[in-house]
Structure formats: structure tokens, C-alpha cells
Structure 1
Amino acid sequence: MRFSLTFASLLSSVFVCSAAAANAVSQAPLVSSASASSVTTSAVSTINNSASVTTGAASSSQPTATSTQDINLIRDRRLTSIISGLSGSSNGIAGWLSSLDSDGKWPDVNYATGCAAQRANWPARDHWARLLTMAGAWHGGLPGVSEYVKDASLESAILLGMRWWFDRDFTNPACLDNGGSASCPCNSTEILLWNTNWYSNVIGVPQLVVDVCLIMGTDILSEADENYCMLMSTRSYGAFARHASYMTGANILDVAKIGIDAGLLSSNESFVADAYSKIHQELLIKDGIMVDGIRSDGSFGQHGGLLYNGNYGTVYSNDVMDLELAAAGTEFSAGSASKTALANLFDGDRWMIVYNAINGVLHWDFSVLPRFISFPVIDGQATADIGMNLTAVEELGNEWMSSTLTEFGVSLKDNDLTHANAGNLTGNRMFYANDYMVHRGKEYVTTLKMFSSRTKNTECTNSENPFGFHLSDGVLYTYLNGNEYEDIAAAWDWNLIPGITVDYNATSLSCSSSQFTGLQAFVGGVSDGQLGLAAMRYLNPATESLSWQKVWFFLEDDMQHVMVANISSKTNAPVYSILDQKRYVGPLVVDEYEKVGPTTGARSVWHGNIGYVLDPQETTSISFSVEEKRGNWSSIGISTQPPADVTLFTAWLQHDSLNTSSSYTTFPGTDLDTFLSKSRQFSLQSAQNDAQVSAIYDQAHETVFAVFWNESGGSTVLDVSLPNYSEARSLSITANGNVALIYDQRTNFITVSDPSQTLTAVEISFVYTRSEKEVQTKSLVVAFPTGGLAGSSVVQRI
């Protein structure tokens, strides 16, 4: 009999949860296709005899004519979507057909299984990836391979390959997500196919399997084939019933997607309805510390405290687009809350995308790809491109009447840019839920990644990114051409990551000691949409040997300023603040003269259309090097690409006197002549830079920026020119709490935030004086948002 599991029973007890089912299957670990039906039916029968659970979706009566029409429509749309996603992968079909052996496997696929298998990107998965492409060609709709449509030889090869795997599918339920443990032990003679990484068993392989099955259809699949298709799909879907710990964020959508395709294969309306409900329950804005999913600021969290708009966020978005375009106009389409959440995500995404003007490819900022920095572009992982179909985004935007989605899709299609600012988006945005700020100028993009007691610094999983400990220590990337940091991670110095302040080599870098939650709460920023500042109080979470306070000011007229103060180190390691480490493009101008070779003692440096100038009172100097480096990708991950050779420009400050504060100004997106002019004329007053307050006054634009570090607040005095109070010569600002603020005297608006996300309100006073005589006093109380909006900026008129 064909797979006839009722949906209520499915939710109650899927194959992997039933020991009796496992025993039934384990009686014949290498069954033939002919006998697969009876074994699977035995397992299904065991499940059907379990107690059932009713849900809103499962309790519906027989499918109506409308629901049947909807299922058929969604199935047709899913087939189109799956096959269109295979474009460009069909060149190997002829070779695969000729090399498939009589058993149904390929000699060039690595079928290592169990504990001997590679954990990430399991090579055996290529077996199903090939079958999927072959199925797409057989079905029709795959460009350039029309000769294979309904080809009998291709059909036979597909079925042979499917049955080879089905006959070797694992039978121990524990191997699903506990491979390598006592319940699913390592075995050097293992021949059944499973991986110690749950992802391959729950998502990676089953999604390919169910899509192959859906394309081939029940008219072609034998009863045994269909039963195995459903068995592997429902086994994955059982992760919902088992409340598996990994069922968060993108993983929820991936598993629900498998459920939808399985429901379409079996024409089970209740299955489809339940899977869509799982998606819509997840497709909401998530509040809470380190929660996975879409956050209120448009960032995306995964793995409990990591910023992952790229990769996991991409998978999440692509799943939604695939499934919501399929469900458009049916009873299964998303409601308003889910639509709002997705729009919020795309609104955040557009700030995090840069354009490589050298090769015309859109990329994610490396700071939203934590461990995937370990892959070169050629590997086709998350560093290769943004991985989105912009036409599909635009299509869903039109369907949902969402201007946010439509604008995202339309604006990023401009591939005729000469700079990195994809979509020509300008301004400043603070992502307060994940300690991340982006500043976009007309022809550049600067991103800043920090971490706090509410977030994590990075991750090393599956041996990927073992040296990434410093990847959130105030990492500052500035993209101009968009290729500055591409494919250099294997060769660069992981202690000199752009933007960080570090006690060089004082922290051991390894996979086992790479991930930490921050130790400080006061990390965040304030933004008025055009200007911003970010502040970070840092204590090394691994050694507690280095601490500092640092502020990044993003000002008008393509000017940025950085202050470092209150540095403390318990080691003898030199302490550096890194200006940049990126590809060298030449020329290099130092103190207004072109230089070649390493230099110390510089006061200004210009390279690659970015200039750096030390404050006049600065006692330290700029050091830099231009050096060809070689690095092995295998040393930082699982890539098998050859070593990377790259010439790197690195610039840094050495903090010889830790009790002395330092500051410098950066001019991104500036040619040499403009830099020389600006660096001689800019008027920026560093009012205070110590453990209590960091404050500057941008005289040219009459704007004050200040950070009050202490919980009790503090006070600072600036020499200012006040358009509304011409007789005043100084401004004293006092706050009774730890806040960051921007005060624009031209508009009299103040923008304030609480980086610690602990305050409910703050009182701020402004006292204008001349010759110690008070001219004007103003005070205001600013109430701060709480919950999911904690840390966001509040604007008030003084």
C-alpha cells in the first residue's frame, strides 16, 4: 500500500520516534526496492497505531474542491520554482548518466558515512544533488537540456540512484541527530548512510529527496519509492514534535518546507496546512535576548546571539519567497503580521549588502556571515554572492503590495555601478539588537560589528573559522570597490582584523575557544538616520587581560572619527588599534608624500581612496606595511581550494602609553587631492576622551556627539558657536545616566539612546555660558523604549 499515514498520527509519532518502527526497518538494513514497500508499511503501521494528536490543521474534514485546487496550484508552482533554481547545473548530466554504475551510485562521489564523513557540506549529498538536476531535466523546464524531457534512460537512471540510497538509508532513529553518541555509535564498517551533523540528516538530504520525488511524481514512483520519500520527509518533520533544540530561525523554515513538499507529494491538505502554519508562527518579529529569527531592527539572529542576515537569513528569506509565492492567492498565504516581519528583514538586509564593482557581484558584508568568512568565493558558499533571486523578491513585493520588498528587488538590480554602494542607499543605521552599525556614503559602505553581554562574538562550527575570536571586537570594514576583503581571510593576520584594538597574540586562537558572550552591557549606538555614533566598552572574554572604551563617530561630509580611551592590559603584548587590513591597490601616500615599504611615525596616510589623520595632540603615530601573504584555506575551514596569495596593506596605531587616549579621523571615498584639502581644513573639536565621557563637536556642521560611560551619567563642556545664543561661548551637557547622544544645533533636535539597554529614562540638561555666566539652561527627560526596541534611538526637540 502507498504511504497512508494520517496527519494526526504523523504529529504524534513519526518514524524516528518509534522504537518499534526502527526495529521493523532494521530487520533488513539493505532491502531491495521490491521489498521496501513491506518494510516501510510495517513502520508506517506502527506509527498509525500510536496515539494521535489533533491540531487545528489536522482536525479539518475531507479536502474541499477549493483546497484541492489550492494544493494542485501550489504543487505546480513549487515544481516551477524547484526546477528554475537548477539553472546552470545541468552541464554534467551526460557525464553523470554515463558514469552511474549498475548499482546506482557514482564512482567520483565520496560516500563516506557515519563518523568517517565530513560533517559540513557532506560530500555524499552530491548524490541527491545530481539526481535533482537529472529529475529537472527529465520533467522539462530546465534550459538547454530539452533532449532529456521524459527520456526513458534518464528516468531509469534517476530511479536506480534513488533506490540505491533508499536501500542504504539509516534505520537507527538516534542517528538522526545524535550520530557519534552511544545511542548511534561510530562504526568503522558502517555502510548505512548518515552523518554526525544533524543538519545533513534532517534538512540537507531530505530536502533534495522530497524535491526529486515531487518532480518525478506518483505516476512514475513505485509504491516503495513513494513510501521511502514520505518516510524520509516525515522523519525530518518529526523534529517539530520532538522539540529538537535546533528548531529555531531558518531551521524551522527549512523543515517546514520539507513538510510542505511532502504534503504536496501525498496530496495531504492537512500536512500542507500544518507546515504553512509552522512557517507563519515563525515568520514574526522576535523579541528577547539572543533569540533566533527576525529582530525588530531588521537584523537576523541564528545560533543564539550571532548576526546572520547572510547565509541563515538568506536561507530563511529564500524559503519564505519560495513558499509564499507558491501560496499566493490561496488559503495558505501569509497574514499581515508575517508580511510585516519579512518586510522588516528586507529593510535591514539592504543596508548590509555591498557591490563588487570589479566583477559586478552583490555580496553580504562579512560581519553578517560569521563563520562563512572561511570560504573563498569560488566555493559557492555564502561569500560567493547574496544568494537571492531579486526578481522573486520584486514579484512577492508586488503580490503583497509591499513597497519595501519591491524597492529591494528593483534597487539592487543596478549592475552598472563604479562603487560598492549597492542600491545607492545613503545614511546611517544602528542595529541595536545585534550590536551592529552601518554607514553608507555616496560611493562607499562602512560597517561596524561589536558584541556585548546580549550577543556573541563569533562561532567555529565544523572546523570553520577557528581563528575568528576577534571578529566582533569593533571590526570596521570600509568597502569602496567592493573587493577589498574578498578572498583574503586565509592569508591575513587574525590579530590585525580591521578596526579592532588588540593585545597582539595574547589570546590563543582556536576552534574550541573562539565563541564567547560579551562581558559588558554598554555596547550600542545612536543614529538619526544620517549620522551616528557607536560605543563599545570591551573586556576580553577569554583572558580578561585587556579592556578599553571606544567610540566611532560617523559624521557629515564623508568624515569619520575614532576615539580610544581607558585602555588596560595585564600582559606585555603590544596593544594596537588597527586602521585597516585589506588588499593593496596603490599608490600609498604618507604625510603627503608617496611611499613604498613599511613605515612608522606617520601622522597621515592615504591608500585606496581612504585617508587617515591623527589628531594634532596625538602622541602616537601610524605604522603600516605592504606585504605579500600566502594562506591555506584548509587552515581556517574545510575548503579544498589552493593557497591564497595576496598583497595586503595593513595600518595600525601602537599604544605605547596605555594611560593616554588616542583618536584619529578617517576620510572614506576620498581621492588624494580631496583628502589633502580636507585634512588641512576640517574643524573637529575633541572635547573629552576619557573613562567618563567621549565627546566631540563638529564645528562645520554645528553638531555635538557625546557618550556618557558611567551608570550615574556625567558632564562635559564644549566650546561652541550657538546660532540661537550668539553671546554664548560654551555648552555644558549633563546626563544622569549612561547614554549616547547627537545634538544638532541647526535643528535643535537631540537623538539619544541607551547602549546598555537598562534605562527606562534619562534626564539631560544643556547649560550655555559666556565668561562663566549662565546664558541659557534647558532640560528634558527622554523615555527609552523597552523590550524588543531597547537600545533604539529616540528623537526629541530641545
Structure 2
Amino acid sequence: MKLDVVAWTLCTLARAVSADAQDADLATLSRRRVADLAEYPDPSWFGNISTWIDAQKPDGTWPDVNYLSGCPAQHANWPIQDHWNRIITLAAAWRGNSSIADPKWTNSTRAWDAISMGLDYWFKNDYKPAACLGDGGNPKLGCPCGTPGLWNGNWYDQAILIPQLSSAACLLAQDGNLSEEQREGCIRLSRRTYDNIDLSYGSGGILTAANIVLVLQSSVTLGLFTDNATVVEDAMKRAFRVMTFSDGAMQDGIHRDGSFLQHTGILYNGNYGKDLLNIFIQFEGEAAGTRFAADNATREAMSTYIKGDEWMIFTDRKARQEHWDFNVIGRFVSFPTQDFQASADINVNVTKLARAVADFAGPYNVTSTIKRLESNGTEPLVGNKGFWASDYMASCEAPHGARRNMTS
């Protein structure tokens, strides 16, 4: 009898220790995610806080933001995202996590009121028909032009863009006096895209590679906002599973030659691949040392991808600026650099990348690649590399390089 009691006690203690460790992992991830999100706003935005607060209208909108939605709205780079960018900036300053914002905004009532009004506007005007998630503008499927609410004809905005922004704003504002309606709105915008993860996103179809990971990025933030370890673990595992090798010809994802394909075989290291890399940097940087960290299958694929990337990057020696080769950014080649799209620069924080892969050892080590990327071209890559999965060849010989994307 005594032995049974001792065994029961030990099992209970083991479960308690395990639960405490898991809770500690979730708390660590949440703390790191908040710190990351506080760095999202462009540094110049924090200087506009006072102006934004003064200019905000009673309904929570701003007069200089384009709120056009529905069928007439701009499909790419939906301008309404500026509404959320301002809420995120205000929330980062209010929470006190930003190293750039004026400390006077920490716990500021004026800043909180602006955040709250901005949240209320969106949640009160959120679209209701489920069809608007991926079939906005399609009358046959239930979301015709003229359907009330804030939605875009581009599925991407409901599935990825707005949930990413709203979940970031909500996590930063989590410790504030959120109303029940605001809390429900925060959950709704991210939950409906996470719940759809195994289904079709209407005109977006079944998501693959970078697109599915972009959805999961907001899903992790949702799990942290709701303190739901199950959602966090599921989203992290799904994301890291995508960050493994894709071996089928023209299959979306990372290939063993270091190329990244999207939209059935198009070489996209410098756009969709770059997005996937940035999410990996965030996830692994936040999960390091916890049970959520990437396994060796993900490490192998990501290290291969990172090593492949540097062959596709060149340096503008006058501007001392790194850029992706136009062959690897696909349709985004036409954007001017001022639009901050794939043509602007490599859009990867190499310092954060170095931290995320700091414990990558042996065959996964990417130290030399990081060193060359950090040098901005002063330590050039020399040699030749062929990417058989994408018919791409890079030939680098200082101070010049040639890259060719073939068709076969």
C-alpha cells in the first residue's frame, strides 16, 4: 500500500514538473513574440503617434487612410493595411516594448484610446459571409460585390494579410483593458483562417509552401493571445513540416539544390522563399531552447536553402545594398525599390538570421554564408553553382557575376 502511494505521488510530481516546463515554454515563446512584434513598425512611424492620435476620427478611422474595400479595392498591397500598421505602432509604444518609441507613450491613456477606437472600427465593420474569405466578389458563392464589411477580392488579404496584422496588434494590446467584443474580434480574424488550414481558400485554392506558412504565422500569435498551447504547437509543427525538402519535380517548396519553387515550379527564392525564410527566422529565434524548436529535418532543409540563397544575391557596390537576382523574384520584378517589395533589397535581417541558426552545427552550419551576407559584398562568393530543380545557374567571379534561368 505504501509503495502504491509513493508511486502515485511520484507520478503526480512528474506530471506537475512536465506541465510547469510546458507552461514555461509557452511563456518564453510569448515573451519573445511580443518583443519581435514591437520591432515590426518602421522606426519613422513612432514619430507620427501624436499626429495620428490627434487626427483620428470619432469612428476610429484616419482621414488619410484609403478604406476602399470590396470589389473596387486595390488587390495587391491593399492600402487599408495602414489602419492596422498604426494600431500596431501605437500598441508597441503603449506596451513599452519598443526601444524607439518615446517612453511617454507607455501606458498612455491617449494611446490606448486610439488603439481601442481603431480596433472597434474594424470589428464593427468586419465582413460576415464565410465566402468572403476566399471568394470575395463572387455572387454565386455568397459574397457578391456590394457585400457589407471590410474585405478584398484578393483572397490573400482575408487569409494572410489582415490576420497577420490584427493578431500582432491584439497580442501587443493583450494586457490592456480589452472589451469582450474586442477580444472576440481579435480571435475571430485569425481563427477563421486557421480553422480553414486544410481546406480550400476559394480562389486561393489549397495553400502550399510559403502561403500556408504565412497563415500559420498568425495562428501561432492567436494561440499565444488565447494562451492555447495546443494551437501553438500544432501551428509550429505544421510550419516546420513545410520547411522540409520537397522532392517532386516542380513541387512547391524547398528543393535539395537550394532552390525554392512556388506556383507549380516557378523559381521564387527572392520572394515567396524569402517570406518563408523570414518566418523561419522568427519561429526558430523565438522557439530556441523550447520544445517548439525545429527538428533536424527542418534544419537540413533550411540550411540548404540559406546556402543556395547567397548564389542568387548580388551587391549594388555604389549603394552598398544587396539585392535578389531578378530571375528569382518572379512577377514582383516590376516594383520600384521605393515600394519595399522584393526588388528593394533582400528584405532579410541577417543579424536575426545569425541568431536563429546559432546552434546549427555540422552539416547544417551556415556561418560562412552569414559572414558573406553580412559583409555586403566585401567578402565575395566565388565559384559556380547549378540548381537542377529550377534550371538556374550562377557563376560568381569577383567583382562580377552572371546568373541565368533556363527553360527546358
Mapped partners of 2:97, 2:175: distance in 1: 19
- 1:170-213 Cα deviation digits (max 9, x unpaired): 1000010011112244434x441001101000110111001111
CA contact (8 A) 2:35 2:97 kept: yes
Q: CA deviation at 1:65?
A: 1.1
CA contact (8 A) 2:129 2:143 kept: no
Q: CA deviation at 1:70?
A: 0.7
Mapped partners of 2:185, 2:18: distance in 1: 24
Q: CA deviation at 1:346?
A: 0.2
Matched, 1:284 2:239: no
- Match for 2:228 among 265, 268, 271? 268
Matched, 1:64 2:19: yes
The verdict on how the C-alpha distance between 1:129 and 1:184 changes in structure 2, with shifts beyond 3 A counting, is: farther
Map of 2:188 onto structure 1: 231
SS for the counterpart of 1:412 is helix
**TM-score normalised by length of structure 2:** 0.91
Matched, 1:367 2:343: no
CA contact (8 A) 1:395 1:406 kept: no
- Match for 1:162 among 113, 119, 128? 119
CA contact (8 A) 1:138 1:148 kept: yes
SS for the counterpart of 1:410 is helix
SS for the counterpart of 1:398 is coil
- Match for 1:298 among 258, 276, 289? 258
Q: How does 1:364-443 map to 2 (within 5 A)?
A: 364-401=324-361, 404-415=365-376, 417=378, 423-443=379-399
CA contact (8 A) 1:218 1:265 kept: no
Mapped partners of 1:101, 1:362: distance in 2: 41
Matched, 1:187 2:187: no
Matched, 1:251 2:211: yes
Mapped partners of 1:406, 1:81: distance in 2: 23
CA contact (8 A) 2:69 2:151 kept: yes
- 1:204-244 Cα deviation digits (max 9, x unpaired): 01110011110111553222211111111111112313254
Gapped regions of structure 2 (runs ≥ 5): 1-14
Mapped partners of 1:315, 1:145: distance in 2: 30
CA contact (8 A) 2:391 2:407 kept: yes
- Match for 2:135 among 163, 178, 200? 178
- Between 371-380 and 406-415, the greater mean CA deviation after superposition: 406-415
Map of 2:10 onto structure 1: none
* Bigger strand share: 1
SS for the counterpart of 1:281 is helix
CA contact (8 A) 1:435 1:450 kept: yes
Matched, 1:210 2:171: no
- 1:120-154 Cα deviation digits (max 9, x unpaired): 11111111111111111111232142221111100
1:225 partner amino acid: Q
Matched, 1:97 2:53: yes
Q: CA deviation at 1:283?
A: 1.2
CA contact (8 A) 2:170 2:186 kept: yes
- 1:675-707 Cα deviation digits (max 9, x unpaired): xxxxxxxxxxxxxxxxxxxxxxxxxxxxxxxxx
Map of 2:36 onto structure 1: 81
Map of 2:276 onto structure 1: 316
Higher alpha-carbon Rg: 1
Map of 2:76 onto structure 1: 120
- Match for 1:197 among 154, 159, 166? 154
CA contact (8 A) 1:394 1:407 kept: no
Matched, 1:358 2:314: no
Mapped partners of 1:63, 1:208: distance in 2: 33
SS for the counterpart of 1:354 is strand
1:157 partner amino acid: A
- 1:403-462 Cα deviation digits (max 9, x unpaired): 643333222111474xxxxx410111111101110000021111101123xxxxxxxxxx
Mapped partners of 1:258, 1:62: distance in 2: 29
Map of 1:543 onto structure 2: none
Q: CA deviation at 1:285?
A: 0.6
CA contact (8 A) 1:436 1:448 kept: yes
The verdict on how the C-alpha distance between 1:305 and 1:436 changes in structure 2, with shifts beyond 3 A counting, is: same
CA contact (8 A) 1:170 1:193 kept: yes
- Match for 1:138 among 94, 102, 113? 94
**Structure 1 residue runs of 4+, over 4 Å off?**
60-63
The verdict on how the C-alpha distance between 1:260 and 1:61 changes in structure 2, with shifts beyond 3 A counting, is: farther
Q: CA deviation at 1:110?
A: 1.1
Q: How does 1:746-765 map to 2 (within 5 A)?
A: none
CA contact (8 A) 1:115 1:180 kept: yes
The verdict on how the C-alpha distance between 1:343 and 1:69 changes in structure 2, with shifts beyond 3 A counting, is: same
What is the RMSD of the two structures over their aligned residues, measured on CA atoms?
1.9
Matched, 1:339 2:299: yes
CA contact (8 A) 1:213 1:221 kept: no
SS for the counterpart of 2:197 is helix
Q: How does 1:237-636 map to 2 (within 5 A)?
A: 237-244=194-201, 245-401=205-361, 404-415=365-376, 417=378, 423-452=379-408
2:113 partner amino acid: S
Gapped regions of structure 1 (runs ≥ 5): 1-59, 418-422, 453-798
Map of 2:12 onto structure 1: none
Q: CA deviation at 1:165?
A: 0.4
* Bigger helix share: 2
CA contact (8 A) 1:393 1:408 kept: no
Mapped partners of 2:243, 2:325: distance in 1: 24
Mapped partners of 2:131, 2:90: distance in 1: 32
CA contact (8 A) 1:179 1:196 kept: yes
**Identity between Structure 1 and Structure 2 (%):** 35
CA contact (8 A) 1:361 1:385 kept: yes
Aligned residues: 387
Map of 1:220 onto structure 2: 177
**TM-score normalised by length of structure 1:** 0.47
